[in-house]
Amino acid sequence: MSYERKRQRRFLGGVRSWLDVQVVEIERQQTNLWRHFARYVLQLGWYYSLHSLLQTILKVLVALYETVERLFESNRHKAKQLRAEKKGATDNHLTKMAEHKIETSLTEDQQEKLREAKLEERN
């Protein structure tokens, strides 16, 4: 350094200038690489994370929709069964009365005797 001050020139000035240019170029490349990493790679990672989050939310919504759809279909099936039972129900009050009438009805011979007895009572 004292040699350079005395001569007021750099020692091996051409080589050192070339090395300075090389160091500046390496520093510029490193800066550009870091910018690229920060700007694109981290941004891409953010986008992938956001995409994964949205995909998970979508899967949850689909599962929820399918569950609600199954409940809806099950409820529809139960309602159809109830309507069919109500429409085709043979165990109501009028049906029981008709069955009782058939069970307790008189035979033709008994009906004939009853008619004759009632006619005799009138006369």
Residues 67, 16 within the same domain? yes
Residues 58, 77 within the same domain? yes
Which contiguous run of DSSP H or E holds residue 82? helix 42-87
Query: Over the stretch 58-83, which tens digit does the pLDDT of each residue have?
Result: 999 999 999 999 999 999 999 998 88
Q: Residue 57 in 3-state DSSP?
A: helix
Indicate the DSSP class of residue 11.
T
Residues 101, 85 within the same domain? no
Query: Over the stretch 89-121, which tens digit does the pLDDT of each residue have?
Result: 656 777 788 889 888 988 889 989 989 998 888
Domain that residue 16 falls in = 2-89
Residues 13, 60 within the same domain? yes
The tally of domains found in the chain comes to 2
